[in-house]
Amino acid sequence: MSGKKINIAIDGYSGCGKSTTAKAVAKALGYTYIDTGAMYRAVTLFFQRHGIDIQDEEAVAAALNQLEIRFNYHYPDKKLHTYLNGEDVESAIRTPEVAAFVSPVAAISAVRRKLVEQQQAMGRAKGVVMDGRDIGTVVFPDAECKFFMTADIDIRTNRRVEELAANGVEASFESVRANLLERDKIDSNRADSPLKKAEDAVDVDTSHITIEDQIQQVLQIVNTVIGE
C-alpha cells in the first residue's frame, strides 16, 4: 500500500448505519471521523433553546455567529461527543424533539453554507471520514471514495427505536417511522444541497447485512483505492 491519505464520503438515509460504519472505518484507518448530522442537530438545539424563528433570516444569521461546534473524545465512554459552545450536548441532540426539527433547520441555506464551510476546512488535510446527506455531492465532491447507503424503511425504523432505547429514550415504532419518512421527504426535496447519490458513489444496501459486513464492504473498497 502507498499509505496515501484520502477523504471518504458516506451519504444516505437515516437508520442505514452510516455513522456506525463511518466511525469504524475511521478507527480502522486511523482517520478522523466527522459526524455532520451531529453538527446540524447542535444548530437545531441552539435554535430551540434560544427561540430562534427559522423563517427570520436576520435572527438565523445572528444565531449562527454565536455558536461553535467541536468534537472531542469523552474518555469515560471512549466515544466522540459533540460540544456546543463548550457544553457536551451529545445526549441532548439525540432526543426526538431535536430529531423532529433537524431537517427544516438543515434546509436553511445560511445554515448549510456555514457548516459546509467548516466541514470542508476539516477535510483539507485529507484522512477524513465524513457521513451525512450531501458529503459526496457538495462537501467533498472530489472525495476519492464515496458511498451511498440505503435500507428498508421498517428496518431503519427498528434500528432507530433500538438506538433511542439504548440512550434511555422511549419512542413508538409509528412515531419514529413517521419522523424518518418526513426527514427523507424534506432532505430529498430541499432546494439547497438535497440528499442524492453522487454519480460515482458505490451503493450499499444495509437492509439484510450485519453492521460488520457493511464495514468490511466499505473497507475493502477503500483499501483498494489507498493501495493504488
Q: What is the pLDDT of residues 138-195, one digit of tens each?
A: 999 999 999 999 999 999 999 999 988 988 888 999 999 999 999 999 999 988 889 9
Which of the four pLDDT bands, split at 50, 70 and 90, describes residue 3? low
Does this model's pTM top 0.75? My answer is: yes
Whole-angstrom CA distances from 192 to 77, 113, 133 are: 36, 9, 11
Residue 95 neighbours by CB under 8 Å, 6+ apart: 169
Write the DSSP assignment of 191-224 as a string of letters.
SSS-----TTPEEEE-TTS-HHHHHHHHHHHHHH
pLDDT tens-digit map of 51-81: 999 999 999 999 999 999 998 877 777 788 9
Residue 50 — very low, low, confident or very high, per pLDDT cuts 50/70/90? very high
What is the model's pLDDT at position 227?
A: 86
User: What is the CB neighbour count within 10 angstroms for residue 101?
Assistant: 15
User: Would you say residue 84 has pLDDT above 90?
Assistant: yes
Q: What is the pLDDT of residue 69?
A: 94
pLDDT digits (tens, 9 = 90+) for 21-30: 999 999 999 9
The pLDDT of residue 2? 52
pLDDT at 1 (0 to 100):
43
Separation between Cα atoms, residue 71 and residue 102, nearest integer Å: 19
* pLDDT cut 90: percent of the chain above it: 81
pLDDT at 212 over 70: yes
